[in-house]
Chain A
Amino acid sequence: MEKHWLVRPKTIRLLWIAMYAVLAVTVLLQIVFHVHGEFGVDEAFGFNAWYGLGACALMVVGAKILGTAIKRKDNYYD
């Protein structure tokens, strides 16, 4: 049976390209729509982009580290 079109490697490569294009556009849109900030730093170019990316990376790594201490087999309480 042929794979669903959405999960074929060719589609996935196209999706990655599309995603990078959309990401670039959302950052460039900031030139047209000036982002108003309250604190200065939030008016830095692409603030929400790099801040969001960085915050997510921290949370994932943080969760991973915490997980080494608190993860148990899922029948732990049985």
Chain B
Amino acid sequence: MISAVPPGLILIAGAGLIPFVGPTTRKALALILPVLALLAMWATGPDGGAIWSAPFLGYDVLPVFYSSIGILFATVFAIMAFGGALFALRSAKPTEMAAAFLYAGSAIGVALAGDFITVFVFWEIMAIGSTLVVWSGGTDAARRAGLRYALIHFFGGVVLMIGLIGHVDQTGSVAFGAVALDTWAQWLMLGGFLINAGAWPMSSWIPDAYPEASPAGTVFLSAFTTKTAVFVLWVAFPGTEALIYVGLFMVFYGIIYALLENDMRRILAYSIVNQVGFMVTGIGIGTEMALNGAAAHAFAHIIYKGLLLMSAGSVLYMTGRRKCTDLGGLFQSMPITATCGIIGALAISAFPLTSGFVSKSMISQSAADQHLMWVWLLLTAASAGVFLHAGIKFPWFVFFQKDSGLRPPDPPWTMRAAMILFAALCLAIGIFPRPLYALLPFPVEFVPYTGSHVVAQLQLLLFSGLAFFLLLPLMKRTLTISLDVDWLYRRAAPAAIAWFSRDLRDLIDGVLGGTREQIGSIVDSLARYHGPAGLLARTLPTGRAVFWVLVILAAFLVFNFS
């Protein structure tokens, strides 16, 4: 019975209900809907194929299609919606909760899409839902960052749509599957996907927008947009070599910027770029193990990044501060938040017994298996860098370092419960990786826990830890931000426009600062040319229009005469 209900639409319909029901029903809905979505998809299970198809514009669209990879992403999206809702239960406004569910539901919609038309429709709903989540931050900064966020995503949507239309025109198919990268249309599709993945140079929207949302809003944001992009890249462009380089650049860009950053949630936002870089590199390598690794890493990442942002969100919720320079010493009064944050930090660093260890190592191993030495060396260096920027830097500057004197207690129980649940998942996946491996699209022959691998990883991570503490004087936090690509559209472009429109500004200054007579003369001259009887307001006589049509027709004939 429930298997016939599209899982994504359960959350989207719920989003429509949430603002109009009482607080108790709302809380119940927020927790029940993701569970219903999970039940609906698992009633059919992976490889169940299309459960819904319909003709649209002459194409067969498959709005709900169960593939093993789609189920994997949809499952973790539903788990995230549940954990995020539990974390948000106390603090989120009804509209924010509704926006989050619209966002989560459309992400599930993308994961279970069987054709590009469905992908695109949910892709755009996702952009709307996520923008509303950013705006729910409620501050002036959130309003402005949300607008920039929306502009980027609708621009990405346009690029994607042009690519999709070209692709459908060239191939005659809307089927959502692997696409050969051989015409401009497919390059545009790749570009549209990469904008949402946060690939450089379109990556600064992540640290720009995500940290401006509410503590709970950022948790939702971290999970869906970039990971649906990983999902569509996985399906459409596996083994595309360019993605190896794009991914590696993202990996190091994320580390370097996170090392410079002072705002704890911006550190974690840059580390999203870094982690998505690992997945994109895996997709670029494109072997079965690499693709398994990318999928598993996306699954693990959503949970540990959600956990890290819950931990940071709890700190923000209890202290109202988010800059490392204002924080420190919180482990004394927020032990649960600190412990969960540390577990998330170990998971992101791929420490043995955590989820990152059993997922990321598949990507590195696949590079080694393909004898891609430089890729492997860079991924290994980056793994060390992850421990540096997220594994130690985040917990160290927030919970330890100098004592800020702040002594807030742990957050309310719903927020603690969400953190404990996700921390438990990070450990459970790390200690018992088999259920996750069983979900992966290809058979897994990889064994993460060998003495050799554990020793190598411990050496790498613990010596990165040594580097951190030895170099601590170089990492002293300052009250600064770092310029990123968004500087181009936040500063350079407006400055250029202002410079080119100096005349306009002079006019405005003249109008604003002019005498009554000066303003009167401007109004008179405007009226003379643009008024009802003005020269420029007259309609052209019909005869003149016919003349110009003839000229155009003649020109057309001349140029086409051959």
> Are A and B genuine complex partners?
yes
**Contact of A51 with B455 at beta-carbon distance under 8 Å, contacts A23-B462, A59-B259 already known:** no
For chain B residues 303-349, which have a beta carbon within 8 Å of chain A? Answer: 323, 329, 331-332
Interface size on A, residues (CB 8 A): 46
In the complex, which residue of chain A has the Cβ closest to the Cβ of B144?
A77
For chain B residues 455-500, which have a beta carbon within 8 Å of chain A? Answer: 455-469, 471, 474-475, 478-484, 490-491
Inside 8 A of B263's CB, which chain A residues have their CB? 74
**Contact of A71 with B474 at beta-carbon distance under 8 Å, contacts A23-B462, A33-B455, A62-B256 already known:** no
Inside 8 A of A62's CB, which chain B residues have their CB? 256
Flag whether B78 is at the interface (Cβ < 8 A).
no
Inside 8 A of A74's CB, which chain B residues have their CB? 262-263, 323, 479-481
Whole-angstrom distance between the Cβ of B104 and the nearest chain A Cβ: 30
Contact A76 B481 (CB under 8 A): yes
In the complex, which residue of chain A has the Cβ closest to the Cβ of B370?
A38
For chain A residues 39-61, which have a beta carbon within 8 Å of chain B? Answer: 39, 42, 46-53, 55-61
Flag whether B555 is at the interface (Cβ < 8 A).
no
Flag whether B163 is at the interface (Cβ < 8 A).
no
Flag whether A11 is at the interface (Cβ < 8 A).
no
CA distance A58 to B384 in the complex (A): 11
Contact residues on B (Cβ < 8 Å of other chain), bracket: 35 or more
Q: Choose from B332, B369, B460, B483 the contact partner of A48 (Cβ within 8 Å).
A: B460
Contact A72 B371 (CB under 8 A): no
Flag whether A73 is at the interface (Cβ < 8 A).
yes
* SS of A interface (majority): helix
* SS of B interface (majority): helix
Q: Choose from A19, A49, A58, A64 the contact partner of B474 (Cβ within 8 Å).
A: A64
Whole-angstrom distance between the Cβ of B310 and the nearest chain A Cβ: 23
Flag whether B451 is at the interface (Cβ < 8 A).
yes
Whole-angstrom distance between the Cβ of B266 and the nearest chain A Cβ: 10
Inside 8 A of B474's CB, which chain A residues have their CB? 60-61, 64
Q: Using a CB–CB distance below 8 Å, which chain A residues touch chain B? A: 4, 6-7, 19, 22-23, 26-27, 29-30, 32-39, 42, 46-53, 55-64, 66-67, 70-74, 76-77
* Chain A to chain B contacts (Cβ below 8 Å), 22 pairs: A4-B332, A7-B329, A7-B400, A19-B465, A26-B455, A38-B376, A47-B459, A52-B460, A55-B380, A55-B384, A55-B385, A56-B463, A56-B471, A57-B471, A59-B259, A60-B388, A61-B474, A63-B255, A70-B482, A73-B479, A73-B481, A77-B490
The 9 lowest CB-CB distance pairs between A and B, nearest first, are A33-B451, A56-B467, A55-B381, A48-B459, A63-B259, A52-B384, A38-B368, A52-B460, A48-B460
